[in-house]
C-alpha cells in the first residue's frame, strides 16, 4: 500500500525546517521543480502501489532522498539514512519533520527497487518510446 506524502509540522517544535533553509539556497529551486514533477507522476505511483496493506515509504520521499544521494555523492543507502537522521537540510528537502523517524536503509533499498521496477512496467505499458526502449536495453 502506498504511504501518504503528508508534510505536517511538529506539534511541539518551535523551529520550522522551512525557516532554517536560507531563501537563496540552491536546493529550494530544485525542490520546487522536483515537487512539481512528482505531483504530475502521482497517478503513476498509485498504479504501482497496492491499495491495501501496510503503508510503505512514500515514493515522493524516495525520489527526493535519491536525488540528494546523487547530488551529494552519498555512496550508500545506509549513509543516506544516517544523513537524513541528523541533517536538517536533507530532512527539509525530503519532506520529513524534525522528529519523524527515519526508515531503515534496507527498507529504503527494497522500496526504491520496487519503485524502479514499477516505473519500468508502467513505461512499457504506456508505450513511452524513450522509457520503454530503456527498459528493453536493461
The answer to whether residue 38 is domain-embedded is yes
How many domains are contained in the chain?
1
Cell of 115: 519503485
Which positions ≥6 away from 79 have C-beta within 8 Å? Answer: none
Strand, coil or helix: 10: coil
What is the predicted pLDDT for the residue at 92? 97
The predicted pLDDT at position 117 comes to 82
Asked if 34 contacts 64 with a C-beta cutoff of 8 angstroms, the reply is yes
What pLDDT score does 118 carry?
75
SS3 20: helix
pLDDT for 136: 40
Q: What is the pLDDT of residue 4?
A: 81
Joined grid coordinates for residue 69? 544521494
Half-sphere exposure of 43 (CA within 13 A, CB side): 3
Domain membership of residue 41 (yes or no) is yes
pLDDT confidence of residue 2: 78
Domain annotation covers residue 91: yes
Please state, in angstroms and rounded to a whole number, the distance separating the CA atoms of residues 22 and 117. 36
Q: In 77-104, which residue ranges form alpha helices assigned H by DSSP? A: 77-86, 88-94
Stretches where the chain sits below pLDDT 50 are: 129-138
Calpha distance 103→21 (Å, rounded): 23
What span, in angstroms and rounded, lies between the C-alpha atoms of 104 and 106? 5
Q: Is residue 119 part of a domain?
A: yes
Domain-located, residue 4? no
Structural domain including 50 reads 23-137
Residue corresponding to grid cell 520503454 = 132
| Residue 13 belongs to some domain of the structure | no
Residue 6 in any domain: the answer is: no
State the Cα–Cα distance between residues 120 and 56, nearest whole angstrom. 19
Q: What pLDDT is recorded for position 13?
A: 58
In a domain, 46, yes or no: yes
Q: Give the pLDDT score at 36.
A: 94
Amino acid at each position: 500500500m502506498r504511504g501518504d506524502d503528508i508534510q505536517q509540522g511538529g506539534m511541539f517544535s518551535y523551529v520550522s525546517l522551512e525557516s532554517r533553509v536560507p531563501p537563496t539556497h540552491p536546493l529550494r529551486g530544485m525542490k520546487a521543480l522536483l515537487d512539481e514533477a512528482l505531483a504530475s507522476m502521482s497517478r503513476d505511483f498509485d498504479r504501482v502501489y497496492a491499495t491495501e496493506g501496510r503503508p510503505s515509504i512514500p515514493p515522493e520521499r524516495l525520489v527526493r532522498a535519491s536525488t540528494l544521494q546523487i547530488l551529494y555523492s552519498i555512496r550508500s543507502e545506509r549513509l543516506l539514512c544516517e544523513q537524513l537522521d541528523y541533517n536538517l537540510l536533507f530532512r527539509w528537502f525530503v519532506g520529513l519533520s524534525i522528529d519523524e523517524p527515519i526508515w531503515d536503509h534496507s527498507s529504503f533499498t527494497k522500496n526504491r527497487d520496487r519503485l524502479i521496477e514499477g516505473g519500468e512496467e508502467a513505461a512499457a505499458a504506456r508505450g513511452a518510446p524513450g522509457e520503454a526502449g530503456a527498459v528493453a536495453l536493461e
